[in-house]
Structure 1
Amino acid sequence: MCYRVNTNFSIKQAEKYYDAKETDLDYQPEDEINGFSHPKTAVILDIAPTEILTAQWGLMPIWAKEDFLKKTNTLNAKIETAETLNSYKNSTKNRCLIPVKSFYEWQWQDAKGKNKRKFEIAIKDSTLFSLAGIYSLWENPETGKELYTYSIVTTKANELMSKIHNIKKRMPICLAQNNHKKWLEGNPLEDFSFPNLNPNLAAVEKSENLFAELFPL
């Protein structure tokens, strides 16, 4: 799955990488953000591919009530079931890119996960890349205020991520620049599932803010 990401990049970096302009960026770059706090992050929507906007992590379908995210986890949408589950099925054609420097995952060292090794993962030799997302424009029924919300789409883990995320064996769909247009234009979801898409990922172990050697060893 994918619940923590690194968004510590500059607006100038993002504008150059996406050939887009920042128009509504109400968020703070962070080395590590926790999805369960439902932060606002930068996104590029299919309806505005030359603009960098802001959306809230944690998809709220159009029928959701205000307390939806207190009861339901929509931080990630499994690519295998997104088109059938009520929370996601009306949003799978709404595509977005979530810019990140990296994401974090933990390797369990025992059956209950009491001992873990933390890894930071990114597309190899890339200072910025995209996680594939689906989104919804949710309207607060009480105030009428509109809010873009999104979920990161996940797939089965590739070889590297199977060794790191060694229990559930999942990973977010990681998009290099050459796949941005295909995702935003609504190509079939299965085109981006592993092994149809196998990003060239690299990882480093991160322990007490010190980076260890590349994984796998």
Structure 2
Amino acid sequence: MQKAAIICHRGACLDAPENTLASLNGAIELGADVVELDVRTSRDGVLYVHHDETVERTTDGHGRFGELLASEIDLLDAGSWFGTQFSGERVPRLDVFLDACMGRIGVYAEIKDADPGRVRDMLARRGLLEKSWTFSFDQSIRAETRAKVPDFRRMVLFEHVGSVARAVALDAHILEFHEDDITPGLVQEAKRGGLVTQMFYGGAERAVFERAVRCGVEQMNIDHVALFRAVEAEMLSAAV
């Protein structure tokens, strides 16, 4: 067994407001290999790091993200909802966020509402493309990415494709499992097919982390980094 690479889901989202520069810096402090971020586009075409369709949950603003101008988004407080010490934290523009990633951490860009070609080019200009990848829950964005930017590494969900063979046929690079569909056999089959294996888990149950380690998954997209590393270290030590 080998240590898994750590992907901080929306940054260090347990310690800082998600999808902010503070959460990015927190992920780096945790020793994460990759930061997962969400990409959306303002009404006037500026790319930002933001998860929800609306801004109410994580900012002091109101309305649908795609209907707001960049000048309006730039004024939003994206930190106070999490803690007063983060008051004034902004919704980061994607270019600013990626500038802060350079030479420090890899990038997993989940595209919510954006042109994948623009995202790809922004990563490439900063030398981040080779170690980055993308995914979208929007089928049209997934298809556009595959057709127009084939050098942008793509992840698919086992939940969507249903088999390792289908993931290979789609020219995917990474196959992500969830706690209810991961098995040692599927992980090994994916590795034999040339896929990088990944698991997403937002919870904190030791048994789920133990299962991931036993399966030999290569990348963990998680919130509870310290707990996973502790479980992993115990299991790796016991296996020696």
Per the TM superposition, whether the score is higher than 0.5 is no
TM-score by length of 1: 0.25
TM-score by length of 2: 0.23
Higher Rg: 2
Higher relative contact order (CA 8 A, sep 6+): 1
Is the strand fraction higher in 1 or 2? 1
